A and B are shown apart, each in its own frame.
Chain A
Amino acid sequence: MKLNELTLKESIDALDKKEVTLEEIYSDLDTAYQKKNKELNIYLSVDTDALKKAKENQDKPLRGLPIAVKDNFCTKGLPTTASSKVLDGFLPQYESTVTKRLKANGGVIYGKTNMDAWAHGSSTETSDYGRTLNPRNPKHLPGGSSGGSAAAIAADLAIAAIGSETAGSIRQPAAWCGAVGLKPTYGRVSRFGVVAMASSTDSPGPITKTVEDACILLNTFAGPDEKDGTSNQEKAPDFTNFLGQSIKGMKIGVIYQDVKEITETNQKLLQELNILKEMGAQVEIAKAMDPHQAIGVYTVVQRAEVSSNLARYDGIRYGHDRSKFGNEGKRRIMLGTFTLTKGYADRYYNLAQKVRTLYLNNFKELFKKYDVLVSPTSPSFAKEVGASASSPMFGELEDMLLEASSIVGLPGAGVPFYRDEKTNLYLGANFIAPMWREDLVIKVADAFEKNSKWNSWRNK
């Protein structure tokens, strides 16, 4: 076994027991990078000083281990493009809170990963630097927008990774790549220094090999930040405390079983959830508000926030002018501008914000009865290369099952629940809980992962 295939927890333990050295881990990782990165197009840039930095940090919690970071986190001295040519050559003069804390805890940024340009998409095909391929099956897409980070995990081109999500951008690529994605509650992780997309839903979080790894990584960067007015000022818990807990008696509602497009995926999930029953949880089908309308809410709200956030790119202080926006960027900025225009704001923007309230109320009701809700993460397996060109709504349709809970800020954990033997592609299950209750999703996702056979690192 190559050392880049270790999980974060295994790496930390092996280093502490002096069974391996950082040099050996980095050497295996470098070899894998040389072999695979060109074909898969996962990293846009790598830090050639990573090993040197690693050795200076080996006594810290993350032991100097190599972490892949999505290219929309500002990293001082490392190029940050958000996969857009508008930011080609941009060298941030400051550090995002997430990466600052990651480094302070001994994490080393191995490189910056490809994504949909500006995080606009669910395929990593809209990157201005070429698409990333799915390491599980390179004829297929990795999902997105954090497709590079998810692919880095699936290809073992990092020990752990960081992504960001507004509605699916961590969990959907994690599902398509057979990895674990944890989207914290909105406000749990600082947005400072992340290239802004939709400010009312942007949530940075881990993409990892196991739920345990996600907790270890999240511990290093979650919590209050005075530089982000929407960050929760309460101290974040130690997320590893929720691992290995009993789920006996927990009430788990299975939602979206009535969504016609995903009958097959739904049936497979329902069958796998028997594992939770065997562990003593109550699992029953629950009726949630139709997720189709959430597509409309998310589309309107996200485009509106995009149009104002991306107004700052004028090519004067940094970056290039607005002619460099790709098709998807143009489309989203302009649709947002349109829905905020006088005469249409009520018809679209304000209506969407009201339907958002309906979802908020619906989840409140559901959580009176259930501790955790679960559904498939994505309607299907990873789509084939080229699929995102099929519709301007490609991303929204792929993220349909995540949008309702994302627009109301809920935390969610995605773990693999099925693998197709012919294609080697995965399906993911998404567990969600009320605001600030990451503990509940971690408990259930960890129990599911440890007691099912689908995690490829736990079941080698």
Chain B
Amino acid sequence: MSVNNTQVKHIAQLANIPITEEESIELADDFSETLQVVDQLKKADVSKVEVTHQVTGFKNVFREDIVKEEQSFTQKEALANAHKTYQGYFVVPYVLQNKDN
């Protein structure tokens, strides 16, 4: 199938990827080319098979629910790579904004 750049812009929004108008046009072409290859899958007869999501066959892998200090970050370590911090917290962008602002 082919994809147009309006669809691409919608996907970009879902994926939270900022793209320019020009990029959306190029990406639409790339997507169409890729999906053409992918569409070969339709030739396969999958009427008798189930999906395979993982191949190890391991089931229900659990561990004890114990906090391990050596595997946990200190506050300092957790914040070490953040660009903006405030009094020991991460600073995040606004999600909701006050109408008056």
Contact = CB atoms under 8 A, between A and B. Distances in A.
A232 B56 contact: yes
Interface of B: 3, 7-8, 11-12, 14-19, 23, 27, 30-31, 33-34, 37-44, 46, 49-56, 58, 61, 63, 71, 73, 77-78, 80-83, 90-93
Contact of A230 (B33, B43, B54, B63): B54
B15 A357 contact: no
B52 A330 contact: no
Contact of B58 (A187, A325, A391, A392): A187
Interface of A: 90-91, 93-94, 186-187, 200, 226-227, 229-230, 232-233, 292-293, 295-297, 299-300, 307, 311, 314-320, 322-323, 325, 330-331, 333-335, 337-338, 341, 348, 350-358, 360-361, 391-393, 396, 407-409, 435
B44 A334 contact: no
A90 B55 contact: no
B53 A353 contact: yes
A392 B30 contact: yes
B37 A299 contact: yes
Nearest to B80: A93
Nearest to A299: B38
A317 B46 contact: no
Given A295-B37, A351-B46, A331 B14 contact: no
A393 B19 CA distance: 20
A395 to B, nearest CB: 11
A317 B90 CA distance: 7
A322 B31 contact: no
A182 to B, nearest CB: 18
11 contacts: A94-B73, A293-B40, A295-B40, A296-B40, A317-B78, A323-B18, A330-B23, A331-B31, A351-B44, A355-B46, A435-B56
Nearest to B39: A296
A351 B41 contact: yes
B81 A93 contact: yes
Given A299-B37, A334-B15, 14 more contacts: A227-B71, A229-B61, A299-B34, A311-B15, A315-B83, A322-B18, A330-B23, A333-B17, A335-B31, A338-B7, A351-B41, A351-B42, A353-B53, A393-B34
B40 A325 contact: no
A341 B16 contact: no
Given A325-B17, A356-B52, A338 B33 contact: no
